[in-house]
Amino acid sequence: MRRALAAAVVLVLLGTGLVAAQSSAPTPRAYLLGALNLLRTHSMDRDRVDWPRAEAEALRAAEGASTFSETYPAIQTVISELGNQHTKLLSPAQAKAPLATTIAVPSSRVENGVAMLTIPGLIADPAGERRYIQAGAAALRAVEAQATCGWIVDLRDDTGGTMWPMLTVLAPLLGDGVAGSFAGPGLAPQFWTVRDGRSWSGEHPGTDEVNPVRLSRWSRC
């Protein structure tokens, strides 16, 4: 996960954000405090945590740490307290985008006139996003003529990542308009839409690629 799409999921990839912070963090302690500040400031579930206690316990747990990676267990403990499955700590190796040729891409099949479109999760570089969208467009084309009873979008293998290519793949099914929004404590909603065959975040395109597929008909059993 267009008009029918009402829920937005925010995935916080601390690993990627903190990797960038390594060059400016003078010590593992400062790195740890920076991570806790990100969680305290941006997590939607931040009110679940007693932050003075959590910070003190994290500093004790990481006392003597000589590398950034040695603070990961303390950070992960605080993430666990948030109780949010969409907040993750990724190491630099985990945050690295896989090769474009190895990523899972959308696929389709038809059963009894119902087209099944499978949307997998995606963490990829621009080449991977391009392959993902092109495969999604091909999957739509492959079953459109046989979709005499409608469509099912299968998200069971969607483990998250970047949603913009996913929405661009689904653009022909969702139609132009507002698809949903990001929201957070004290923040105005940031709407995301589908327009002209691709996803948009406000006035910024979510993908470089445009989905060229335009469904020619809507059938019912």
Q: Report how far apart the first and last C-alpha atoms of the chain are (Å, whole number).
A: 25
Which has the closest alpha carbon to 51: 65, 39, 68, 63? Answer: 39
Mean pLDDT of the chain: 86
Read off the pTM.
Answer: 0.74
Instruction: Round to whole Å and give the CA distance between 92 and 69.
Output: 10
pLDDT the model gives residue 68: 94
Pick the CATH number of 12-95 from 3.30.750, 2.40.128, 3.30.110, 3.30.450: 3.30.750
Least confident of 95-104, 133-142, 169-178: 95-104
Instruction: Round to whole Å and give the CA distance between 20 and 18.
Output: 5
pLDDT digits (tens, 9 = 90+) for 197-218: 999 999 999 999 999 999 876 5
What DSSP string runs through 138-153?
HHHHHHHTT-SSEEEE
Residue ranges of the chain assigned to CATH 3.30.750: 12-95
Output phi, psi for 46, to 5 deg.
Answer: -65, -25
Q: Are 125 and 103 in contact (CB under 8 A)?
A: no
